[in-house]
Structure 1
Amino acid sequence: MLAQIVLFDGFDPLDVVAPYEVLHAGGVAADGALTVQLVSAEGPRDVPSGIPPLSLRATGPLDPARAGLVVLPGAAGRMPDGPGQAEEDSVPAVLARALGTGLPPLLAACVGRPELCVATVCGGSLLLAMAGLIGGRPAVTHHDGMGALADAGARPVEARVVDDGDLVTAGGVTSGLDLGLHLLERELGPAIALRVERLFAHERRGVVWRPAA
């Protein structure tokens, strides 16, 4: 399986690096059954994060036809204190700029493939909601953004990870570790997930929410 982690200008580095390392370690533990790639809508390029001067290198384009798993990070910044306070470097402003690129149609193609799992960390779910791609679906984001997530049409759920089948969302920044481990358990089995959990000396916490059967 190919996992692609999406970079866009202003992304939060920890949203990317945490699941990248977990998924990569799982792929190694599973003898290459999972490979991980950093991508962007534009293809190979150096992508500036929201914490300058740090940037990461996208090595290829986001490809909904090839990927079996797509992970979308959030943005680095803060939530506005009130209406009309969406400063240029706030999370909603950074996400809005990402919506003005070639990313939304690619994300729409990802969401439109039920066999492809789209996962998000922190504000990544808000980006999907702002793009009109997860209307009415259960999702979680950083606690400061739950109201904005509801305003954008998603159904906020108070949980560490929300697993709605082909859409898996995780809460605040550090939840990228828990998201990665949950995805390993889903895709490669609990033995691989436990092996990586021990490697990272990280005990998963919080609740994985799933819809009632």
Structure 2
Amino acid sequence: MADTTAEIVLFDGFDELDAIGPYEVFENAALAGADLETTLVTLEETDMVTASHDLRVESQGTLGQPDILLVPGGGWTSANEGVRAVVEDGELPDRVDECYTEGATVASVCTGAMVLAEAALLEGRPAATHQVAEEDLEAHAANVVDERVVDDGDVLTSGGVTAGLDLALWLVEREFGEDVSSAVSEEMEYERGEVFG
């Protein structure tokens, strides 16, 4: 088993790239030498999760106590779908808070920041999200900044959709070094943006 575990939590209506982009970055980091094991998880046992563009993804397990927990976005502007539904349900924000309290580094992509906000992890912190959720995030007492990635130590947020790649590459660099993140960037032919924080 790897020294560092990362779990990406899936729910119906999550945005595909928000989760699968970071998953590929983390998997490539492991191939490049990072001691990292990444798992796609759900809150409860389920065979398949249907994403926002109807991609069906198989869960690899249920949410445990990872070193890194990543929450994707998707569906904030729709009633009873995606992030909006899991925030209103309350179970995912509660579990995110538990993971954080037990020592996990928590990260969000896009409107996944609303889950972190509901878990009260962003109060008074700088945070980024997709532009459609910026006002709602500010209402949760977060200091919304217009950045692709915001690193506030044990809580990281990123802007819309493709910013998840930047977030994951930054986490790889922060945790496993620039050589590993550069190898992943080259492999994926992706030039990432700047990090705030």
SS at match of 1:162: strand
- The TM-score, its normalising length taken from structure 1, stands at 0.85
Q: Which runs of 5+ in 1 are unaligned?
A: 80-86
Where in structure 1 do 4 or more consecutive aligned residues deviate above 3 Å?
none
**Is 1:42 equivalent to 2:44 in the alignment?**
yes
| Equivalent residues of 1:42, 1:102 under 8 A apart | no
1:110 CA drift (Å): 1.6
Alignment-mate amino acid for residue 129 of structure 1: A
**Is 1:116 equivalent to 2:115 in the alignment?**
no
Larger % of helix: which?
A: 2
CA distance in 1: counterparts of 2:96 and 2:39, whole angstroms: 16
| C-alpha distance 45-154 of structure 1, shift in aligned 2 (>3 A) | farther
1:84 corresponds to: none
Q: CA RMSD in A?
A: 1.7
Mapping of residues 1-213 of structure 1, within 5 Å: 1-30=4-33, 33-52=35-54, 54-64=55-65, 67-76=66-75, 79=77, 87-88=78-79, 94-99=82-87, 100=89, 102-113=91-102, 115-205=103-193, 207-210=194-197
CA distance in 2: counterparts of 1:120 and 1:167, whole angstroms: 8
Q: Which structure has the greater CA radius of gyration?
A: 1
Alignment-mate amino acid for residue 88 of structure 1: A
Deviations 1:35-82 (A, max 9, x none): 110001113431111222x12111111112xx11111000146x4xxx
CA distance in 1: counterparts of 2:121 and 2:47, whole angstroms: 26
**Identity over aligned residues, as a percent?**
38
| Equivalent residues of 2:43, 2:63 under 8 A apart | yes
Alignment-mate amino acid for residue 193 of structure 1: S
- The TM-score, its normalising length taken from structure 2, stands at 0.91
